[in-house]
A and B are shown apart, each in its own frame.
Chain A
Amino acid sequence: MSSVLVLALTGAGLTLLGLHALIVKAHLLRKILALNVISSGIFLLLAGLAARTPGGEPDPVPQAMVLTGIVVAVAATALALALLLALRSATGRTRLDDDNGQ
């Protein structure tokens, strides 16, 4: 099962890919996608490493943690999208304004 290490390493790659997009991309929908990619990468790392158990049966605890994490991520995405739509209907913008409210 050691080839599965590839997938855990993919998780690391996804996390940083998402981080890059979160910083660089301006459109908020894209930032929301980026956050989802970041969390997917972390989940992959968390559950991927759970597959290195000697017996073949993966560790259930990280799997349960990832399940929790996926649900939290959906909740956060829904709230972020609703905020984006509210922001859009209030200001017409889909990017963050850098004027610090002054």
Chain B
Amino acid sequence: MLPSGAVWTAALVFTPLLAALACFLAPRAANWIGLLAAGLTTLAAATMVPTLMTDGPLRIAVGGWGAPLGIDLYADGLSAVLLLMTAVVGLGVSAFAPAYFGAHPQQRPWFWPLWLILWAALNGLYLSADLFNLYVMLELLGLSAAALTALSGGGPALNAAMRYLLVSLLGSAAYLLGVALLYHAHATVDIALLGARIEPGMLANAALAVMFAGLMLKTALFPFHFWLPPAHAGAPAPVSALLSALVIKGSFYLLLRLWLDLFGDLSRLLPELIGVLGAIAVLWGALQALQQQRLKLMIAYSTVAQVGYLFLAFPLAGGLNGTTAWRAVVYLALAHGLAKAAMFLSAGALLRFAHHDRIADLDRAVHRLPLTLTAFVLAGVSIMGLPPSGGFVGKWLLLEAAFQQDRWGLAVVVLLGGVLAAAYVFKVVGYAFTPTAIAQEGGSVPLSMQWSALLLALGAILLGFAAPLLLPLLEVGAPFEPIVGMPS
């Protein structure tokens, strides 16, 4: 008999994949195919929620073989919330894209298949329980992301895409090395089986080291962030939104999953080290963002800072109420996804309007482009972590965990990061109110571009109110509880 969730699970991966093929075969209809696929994929993600809430976590044996021989798919609350966030951001970006690429018609036929494959890879990543299958997903994700980065052409974008591709390939190679070691030690690549079989020792440490190094490189944790700002700033606006909001979350999710299910008990030192890197990233990224003259680069450096927050949970997780820290950073990841996508889309709208993204020359953009500026400010509220946004809920939970364990240093970093974020967001808002000496001509910006940014920003705010709904969903399958039977 079919497991009840089998159909939507298949739909989450195959709808975007087959739509990508359709876009490749019929480039002229790409807009319509893409929008339809975005709608259907979002529908599949939404259908999953009630199924998971009633039936609990889902495990599907592809081909009916079952691990360790076959590949298993697995979905719990953690996969579900990330799939949902991907769907919402994906829908928003897909709604933004037709108008945006109306002005860049030569890029449009390539954007759609690449983006739909990227979506399929992300969904596949969140649904897979098989380390080698995850490697294939990582490669699918990395190659499509690099190709999308290069889409706008021109020296800086190509340079950034090239560096991104090399970094991404090195990251997945390191990950694969870890998979090879684990397979030969334990004769399986299924995460759950490995979790039961893995033992502390030299081999597990080696696998942990290479896999974490590779994935931290891909997630752009300080000091591996060097490739991120040029790539995220140089890409076309909808692509920047995808890269910052979604792609980074893919490798972070995998990192988190490996830590929770495989490596969590191996090292006491590593979480502290990761926490320190995260704290540096929060402060360094925000300070860099504050100094940028270009809007898109500022938003990209803000991503470096926001990635840092995600790693602050590692040192907290082992202590009192440690699982709160995991909930906190997952919430932050969701909020950052929506808010950062909204910010990059607003930047795209501003760029279309003013033909430049110099922050100092925004010239009364507030009066001339009110919807877009509202979107930017609302997204900024969530990035700063002010109530009632999703970012606020995440930071609140993180502070709660930090206070309970008397980790005042981490609490200060969280708060300071918020203050710095406020500084760079208000810098933009300030210039947007200020007239420049020479009045600037503005072009027209299609409403679909402005509204998709605004709706995503509203989503980031509403995420604050959705906590009573989302936090129980996150608990499905108890992803943060220690696995029973694991040696400690």
| A/B touching: CB–CB < 8 A | yes
Residue ranges of A at the interface with B (Cβ–Cβ < 8 Å)? 15, 19, 22, 28, 31, 35, 38-39, 42, 45-46, 49-50, 61-62, 65, 68-69, 72, 75-76, 79-80, 83-84, 86-87, 90-91, 93, 96-97, 100-102
9 contacts between A and B (CB under 8 A): A19-B170, A35-B169, A45-B177, A49-B184, A79-B143, A97-B156, A97-B159, A100-B226, A102-B294
Instruction: Check B173–A38 contact: CB distance below 8 A.
Output: yes
Chain B residues with a Cβ closer than 8 Å to the other chain, count: 37
Closest 5 CB pairs of A and B: A101-B230, A46-B180, A91-B155, A87-B158, A49-B184
Q: Check if B165 sits within 8 Å of A79, measured CB to CB.
A: yes
| A38 and chain B: residue at smallest CB distance | B173
Q: How far is the CA of A76 from the CA of B127 in the complex (A)?
A: 24
| 1/0 contact string of B164-193 vs chain A (CB within 8 Å) | 011001100100110010011000000000
A35 adjacent to B159 (CB under 8 Å): no
- Min CB distance B292 to A, Å, is 8
Q: Closest CB-CB distance, A93 to chain B, in whole Å?
A: 8
A19 to B100, CA, bound (A): 40
Is B46's CB within 8 Å of the partner chain A?
Answer: no
Interface secondary structure of A, over-half rule: helix
A69 touches B176 (CB 8 A): yes
CB of A73 to closest CB in B, whole Å: 9
Query: Known: A31-B166, A69-B176, A90-B153. Is A79-B147 also a contact (CB below 8 A)?
Result: yes
Given contacts A65-B132, A101-B233, whether A83 and B183 have CB atoms under 8 Å apart is no
Give A18's nearest chain B residue, CB to CB: B173
Asked if B170 contacts A22 (CB within 8 A), the reply is yes
CA distance A80 to B153 in the complex (A): 15
* A35, A49, A75, A87: the one within 8 Å of B143 (CB): A75
In the complex, whether B163 has a CB less than 8 A from a CB of chain A is yes
Least Cβ distance of B294 to chain A in Å? Answer: 7
Are A87 and B173 closer than 8 Å at their CB atoms? no
Q: Chain A contacts of B153 at CB under 8 A?
A: 86, 90
- Residue B381, interface by CB 8 Å: no
**If A35-B166, A87-B162, A90-B153 touch, does A101 touch B229 (CB 8 Å cutoff)?**
yes
B161 in the interface (beta carbon within 8 A): yes
Taking each of B156, B159, B292, which has the highest tally of chain A beta carbons within 10 Å of its own beta carbon? B159
Determine the distance from Cα of A83 to Cα of B150 in the docked complex, in whole angstroms: 8
Q: Which residues of A contact B147 (CB under 8 A)?
A: 79
B64 in contact (CB, < 8 A)? no
Is there a chain A Cβ closer than 8 Å to B154's Cβ?
yes
B residues adjacent to A (C-beta < 8 A): 132, 135-136, 139, 143, 146-147, 150, 153-156, 158-163, 165-166, 169-170, 173, 176-177, 180, 183-184, 226, 229-230, 233-234, 292-294, 297
Cβ contact within 8 Å between A90 and B170:
no
Total CB contacts across the A-B interface at under 8 A: 97
Closest to A66 in B: B180
CA distance A80 to B166 in the complex (A): 8
Would B170 and A15 count as touching, CB distance under 8 A?
A: no
C-alpha gap A83/B391 in the complex (Å): 37
In this complex, what residue of A is CB-closest to B132? A65
Instruction: Collect the chain A residues with CB atoms within 8 Å of residue B165's CB.
Output: 76, 79-80, 83
- Give CA–CA (A87, B176) in the complex, Å: 28
Q: How far is the CA of A67 from the CA of B173 in the complex (A)?
A: 15
B297 CB contact (under 8 Å) in A61, A65, A102: A102
Contact check, B146 vs A90: say whether CB atoms are below 8 A apart: no
Instruction: Determine which of A49, A83, A102 lies in contact with B158 in the assembled complex, contact meaning CB atoms within 8 Å.
Output: A83
Q: Is the CB of B162 within 8 A of A42?
A: no
Are the CB atoms of B159 and A62 closer together than 8 Å? no
Is the beta-carbon distance between A83 and B173 smaller than 8 angstroms? no
CB distance from B442 to the nearest CB of A (A): 25
Give chain A nearest CB distance to B263 CB in angstroms. Answer: 20
Question: Which A residues are CB-close (under 8 A) to B150?
Answer: 83, 86
Q: Which residue of B lies closest to A19 (CB)?
A: B170
A62 to B187, CA, bound (A): 10
A31 to B226, CA, bound (A): 17
Which residues does chain A contribute within 8 Å of B143, judged by CB atoms? 75-76, 79
Chain B residues near A93 (CB-CB < 8 A): 155, 159
Residue pair B173, A91 in contact (C-beta under 8 Å): no
A69–B156 Cα distance when bound, in Å, is: 30
B231 to chain A, nearest CB (A): 9
Contacting B229 at CB < 8 Å: which of A35, A46, A100? A100
Nearest chain B CB to A48's CB is how many angstroms away?
10
Contact partner of A42 (CB less than 8 A), chosen from B136, B161, B173, is B173
How far is it, in angstroms, between the C-alpha of A36 and the C-alpha of B184 when the chains are bound?
A: 22
19 additional A-B pairs beyond A46-B176, A101-B233, beta carbons within 8 Å, are A22-B170, A31-B166, A38-B170, A42-B176, A49-B184, A61-B183, A62-B183, A65-B183, A68-B136, A76-B139, A79-B147, A83-B161, A84-B162, A90-B154, A90-B155, A90-B158, A97-B156, A102-B294, A102-B297
